[in-house]
Structures are given as structure tokens and as C-alpha cells.
Amino acid sequence: MDFVGIVESINAKFGKDFASIDEEVSEETVRITPEQWGQLAPFLREEPELFFDAMMCITGIDEGEDSENLAVVYNLHSMKHNHKLEVYVSTLKNDPKVPSVEQIWRIADWFEREVFDMYGIEFDGHRDLRRILLPSDWEGFPLRKDYEFPETWHGIVVNKMKEGWE
């Protein structure tokens, strides 16, 4: 199924303005809120015509220092129908919360832990949400644009990242 068909079948289920296509950003992305994602995710997995059984990637994004939003991007793929979908879920920086899909796609377990690790986005319903790549007592979320590097960690001096490269 092509992208327009996928959006139509989503809108047929949840109402006609549920998923909107933002042509300014990308023509192949569905942009929704975290609440909508909680409804949409099981539907995408179970609906026989869509049947997105594989989660390719989950990416956290900081929309920039001026923006108030963080975002989580889900890249889905259907092994059966061989079609793809990208879902862009934006959430607020001061209270980042997105429903977890860890029990729908098992790989989301580690991917969501990684996004939490790097951006501090809380995934509601995740059974084991803790840091994965960084040490458990690390402070702050490094991939946020306003992250400030610590000067020391357990007495070890952390090298400052250079401003631009010569």
C-alpha cells in the first residue's frame, strides 16, 4: 500500500482529521500527538491490511534550542506487504511523555531505553525504563541541544568538546 492509502485507512478508523500530512516537512511522514500514538500503535500492528510487524528504528530528536518540543520518530515496516511508514510524535521539552510500544514491538524495549537515555523522554508503560548506554548515575541527557558537559565525573576530568574543528 502506498503512503496515501495508509493515511486513508488510518483516518477511516479514527476520524478524518486524525493523521495529517505535513508537506512542508516531509511528504511521507504522519505527524501526531503522544495521545494519538497510544491509539494508533496497536492498530498499525494488528490491522491485517497494514500489518506493520517490524519496527525498523526509533529516533529521538531535539527540534532545536528555540523550540519547545522534543520528538520521537518511529520507522515502521511491514514484512508481509513491504510498505513503510514514518510516524513523528512530538512532545513537550519540560514534560516529555510518550506512550511505550515496548509490548507491541519487542525491539522498542531497547530503542526506547536509548531515547530515554539520550533525551530523557519518559515512555509510559515501559516495564524497565533505565539508562542503557550511559552509566546509571549519569546526569543530564546528552543529545539535547542545551546539554552542558559536566566538568568531572567521579573525579575524572571530562575533556571539553572543541568549538568547531580546525
Q: How far is CA 111 from CA 70, 96, 122, 138, in A?
A: 16, 16, 12, 18
Position among 31, 107, 120, 122 found at the interface with another protein (CB under 8 A) = 107
Position among 86, 120, 122, 125 found at the interface with another protein (CB under 8 A) = 86
Position among 5, 12, 20, 26 found at the interface with another protein (CB under 8 A) = 26
Q: Which is nearer to another protein, 9 or 59 (CB)?
A: 59
| 47 counts as binding another protein under rule CB under 8 A | no
Q: Which is nearer to another protein, 11 or 73 (CB)?
A: 73
Distance CA 71, CA 106 (A): 21
Distance CA 12, CA 20 (A): 13
| 53 counts as binding another protein under rule CB under 8 A | yes
Bridge-based pairing state of the strands 84-92 and 29-32: parallel
Contact characters 132-161, another protein, x per CB under 8 A: xxxx------xx-----------------x
Cβ atoms within 10 Å of 83's Cβ, excluding its own: 16
Quickly tell me which residue has 493515511 as its cell: 7
User: How many residues contact another protein, by CB under 8 A?
Assistant: 34
CA-based R_g, the chain, Å: 18
| 56 counts as binding another protein under rule CB under 8 A | yes
| 76 counts as binding another protein under rule CB under 8 A | no
| 79 counts as binding another protein under rule CB under 8 A | yes
Distance CA 152, CA 159 (A): 9
**Residue 40 CA from chain centroid, whole number:** 14
**Positions that interact with another protein (CB under 8 A):** 25-26, 53-57, 59-62, 64, 73, 75, 79, 82, 86, 105-107, 109-110, 118, 131-135, 142-143, 161-162, 164-165
